[in-house]
Amino acid sequence: MKIKEAVAALSALAQETRLKAYRLLIEAGPEGVPAGRISGALRVAPAALSFHLKELSHAGLVSSRQEGRFIYYTADFGQMTALMTFLTYNCCNGMPQECLTVMGTALSQCCEPEPKRRPAKRN
C-alpha cells in the first residue's frame, strides 16, 4: 500500500458514521450486510448512509453487490490487512515480532472468536 492509499483509507475512517459502518461490516464478515440493515443499525437516513458508504468504497475499504432489490456491502478484508500492514511495517525499529506479539495478545483477549454452534438436529 502506498501513502496516498493509506491516507485515503484513514481519511474515510476518520468520521464517526463511516467508522461505525465499517466496524459493523467487519463484524458481519464476508457475507456482508444489506444497506437497509446498516441504516437501521446506525440510525442513519438512507441518503446519508449512501454518501458514507460511497466514501468507504472510494477508499477501497468496502465493496457492494446487488442481490435482487437489495444492495449488500462487504468490508474488503484484503484492503484492511494492507492498511494494518502499512501502519506496522517498520514497527519496533525493525523487530516487529516484539510489538506485534503484544498486539496479537491484546487482540486475542478482547476479540476472541465465539465457538461455532452446531444447528439443532431435527427429528
Q: For residue 70, give the CATH number of its domain.
A: 1.10.10.10
Can you read off the three cell numbers belonging to residue 37? Answer: 440493515
Q: How many CA atoms lie within 13 A of 91 on its CB side?
A: 14
In order of 11, 50, 65, 66, the CA distances from 30 in angstroms are: 23, 20, 12, 14
Confidence of residue 73 (pLDDT cuts 50, 70, 90): very high
Position 117 in a domain? no
pTM exceeds 0.85: no
The whole-number average pLDDT for the span 55-62 is: 96
Cβ-proximal residues to 67 (8 Å cutoff; 6+ apart), any chain:
none
Residue 119 belongs to some domain of the structure: no
Does residue 121 belong to any structural domain of this protein? Answer: no
- Where is pLDDT greater, at 32 or 100? 32
CA distances from 54 to 49, 73, 84, 117 (A): 8, 10, 21, 35
Domain around 32:
1-110
Cα 68–74–76 angle (5° rounding)?
140
| C-alpha–C-alpha distance, residues 62 and 92, integer Å | 30
pLDDT of 50 over the 80 cut:
yes
Which pLDDT band holds residue 24 (cuts at 50, 70, 90)? very high
| 34 located within any domain | yes
Q: Is position 31 within any domain?
A: yes
Per-residue pLDDT averaged across 63-82, rounded?
Answer: 93
Within a domain: 82: yes
Task: Return the percentage of the chain with pLDDT > 90, whole number.
Answer: 63
Amino acid letter, 103: M
123 inside domain: no
Average pLDDT over every residue of 7-19: 96
**pLDDT at 120 (0 to 100):** 53
- Count of domains for the chain: 1
The pLDDT of residue 56 is above 90? yes
110: cell is 478482547
Is the per-residue pLDDT at 5 higher than 70? yes
